[in-house]
């Protein structure tokens, strides 16, 4: 029977801001289960309404994260009912009383489906996020690496104004790392459950260790002055608004030509990284299939790419 999850919880914020670590902790609570990267519930929602369901089913066939979630698709359901059913399946499967999910983008669309949802927003120093995104292959330099942080923070800044105080909780990544027990107690209070030390048992079944203070303010040691200045050129005011101290380095100017070359450099680095990871043959096959509109061939290529991506990921369950 279809059951409505009337008040789910969503962990929102930029990628590389500690969402995986916090999700692991939450998922290990005896009463809480948490879906990772639930963007497939909102990515296809447009200004004109819900996505075409047949096209959505087709899209999910090769969606790596959805496929790894092992959810069943009930074709008798409407779109809101369907994505709600994914949360319900997770709740029943894990036999817990509270369900949540992580959403890094388009989380302002969530109230269309769950008007009573509650939100945990996690914020990390954008300078560290910029550096971390390079390591993931999402950007070739810190100039572009900070874009995901900018996007998520701007969405939250506007979206959070629409939420009642009891619907939102702010969590600072650096607090989670340095004082994780007290931070988790505060989060548990927001969820309406008691803190349980088993939330830290994720270390026994994942590739993630307990929080280490060395993980914060890495930009001070691992970025050049020029890199720090480039990031602060883009987000200095946002950092200050979020209670982060600036480096104290002289502010720089970045002209249009420099912006163009930084964007081009990032694109080139990303393409090289993708080529190194996937190989020439698969990339050419994927390009040809898309160019010719050969859907079945495209799906085969996407599934092969998914397998390669899985092999390169840290264990996070």
Does one domain contain both 206 and 292?
A: no
Same domain, 74 and 158: yes
* Whether 283 and 150 share a structural domain: no
Contact at 8 Å (CB) between 217 and 244? Answer: no
In a domain, 273, yes or no: no
Residue after which a domain boundary falls, among 164, 195, 216:
216
DSSP state of 294: -
Q: What is the pLDDT of residues 250-264, one digit of tens each?
A: 999 999 999 999 999
Rounded to whole angstroms, how far apart are CA atoms 89 and 76? 16
Q: Mark whether 116 and 199 lie in a shared domain.
A: yes
Cβ atoms of 125 and 243 within 8 Å: the answer is: no
CATH number at residue 86: 3.40.50.300
pLDDT tens, the chain, 317 aa long: 458 898 999 999 999 999 999 999 999 999 999 999 999 999 999 988 999 999 999 999 999 999 999 999 999 999 999 999 999 999 999 999 999 999 999 999 999 999 999 999 999 999 999 999 999 999 999 999 999 999 999 999 999 999 999 999 999 999 999 999 999 999 999 999 999 999 999 999 898 999 999 889 999 999 999 999 999 999 999 999 999 999 999 999 999 999 999 999 999 999 999 999 999 999 899 989 888 989 899 899 999 999 998 887 776 66
What gap in Å lies between CA 180 and CA 211, rounded to an integer?
7
Same domain (yes/no): 87, 174: yes
| 102 within some domain | yes
DSSP alpha helix (H) spans, 95-218: 126-135, 142-145, 147-159, 173-178, 180-191
Beta carbons of 31 and 97 less than 8 angstroms apart = yes
Q: Which of 163, 187, 216 is the last residue of a domain?
A: 216
Q: Are residues 201 and 300 in the same domain?
A: no
Round to whole Å and give the CA distance between 98 and 194: 13
Where is the domain boundary, 194, 216, 238?
216
- pLDDT for res 2: 58
Could you tell me which of 20, 218, 246 has the C-alpha nearest to residue 129? Answer: 218
**What is the average pLDDT value for the chain, to the nearest integer?**
95
In a domain, 111, yes or no: yes
11 three-state secondary structure: strand
On whether both 179 and 300 belong to a single domain, the answer is: no
In a domain, 1, yes or no: no
Whether 208 and 283 share a structural domain: no
Looking at the fold, whether 177 and 72 belong to one and the same domain comes out as yes
For the chain, how many structural domains are there in total?
Answer: 2
* Residue 317 domain-assigned (yes or no): no
31 and 106 fall within a common domain: yes
* Span 170-182, pLDDT tens digits: 999 999 999 999 9
pLDDT in tens, 220-237: 999 999 999 999 999 999
249 in any annotated domain? no
Question: Both tokens of residue 115?
Answer: 């008007």
Q: CB-based contacts of 298: which residues, under 8 Å, 6+ apart?
A: 286, 289, 290
Residues 177-218 have pLDDT tens digits of 999 999 999 999 999 999 999 999 999 989 899 999 988 999
Range of the domain at 61: 9-125+145-216
> 179 and 297: one domain?
no
299, 212: one domain: no
Domain membership of residue 118 (yes or no) is yes
Residue 51 lies in a domain: yes
pTM above 0.75, yes or no: yes
């Amino acid at each position: 029977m279809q059951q409505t999850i009337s008040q789910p919880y969503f962990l929102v914020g930029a990628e590389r801001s500690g969402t995986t670590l916090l999700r692991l902790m939450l998922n290990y609570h005896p009463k809480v289960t948490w879906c990772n990267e639930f963007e497939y519930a909102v990515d296809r929602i447009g200004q004109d309404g819900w996505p075409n369901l047949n096209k959505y089913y087709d899209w999910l066939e090769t969606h790596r994260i959805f496929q790894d979630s092992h959810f069943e698709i009930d074709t008798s359901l409407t779109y809101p009912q369907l994505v709600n059913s994914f949360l319900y399946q997770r709740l029943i499967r894990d036999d817990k009383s509270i369900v949540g999910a992580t959403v890094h983008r388009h989380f302002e669309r969530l109230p269309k489906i769950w008007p009573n949802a509650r939100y945990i927003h996690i914020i990390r120093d954008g300078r560290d996020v910029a550096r971390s995104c390079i390591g993931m292959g999402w950007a070739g330099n810190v100039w572009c690496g900070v874009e995901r942080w900018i996007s998520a923070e701007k969405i939250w800044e506007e979206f959070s104004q629409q939420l009642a105080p009891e619907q939102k909780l702010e969590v600072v990544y650096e607090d989670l790392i340095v004082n994780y027990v007290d931070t988790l107690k505060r989060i548990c209070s927001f969820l309406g459950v008691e803190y349980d030390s088993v939330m830290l048992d994720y270390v026994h079944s994942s590739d993630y260790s307990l929080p280490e203070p060395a993980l914060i303010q890495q930009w001070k040691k691992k970025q050049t002055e020029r890199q720090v200045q480039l990031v602060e050129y883009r987000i200095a005011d946002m950092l200050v608004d979020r209670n982060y101290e600036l480096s104290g380095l002289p502010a720089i100017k970045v002209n249009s030509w420099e912006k163009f070359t930084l964007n081009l450099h990032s694109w080139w680095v990303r393409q090289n990284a993708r080529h190194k990871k996937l190989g020439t043959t698969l990339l050419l096959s994927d390009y040809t299939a898309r160019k010719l509109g050969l859907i079945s061939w495209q799906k085969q290529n996407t599934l092969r790419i998914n397998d390669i991506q899985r092999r390169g990921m840290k264990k996070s369950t």
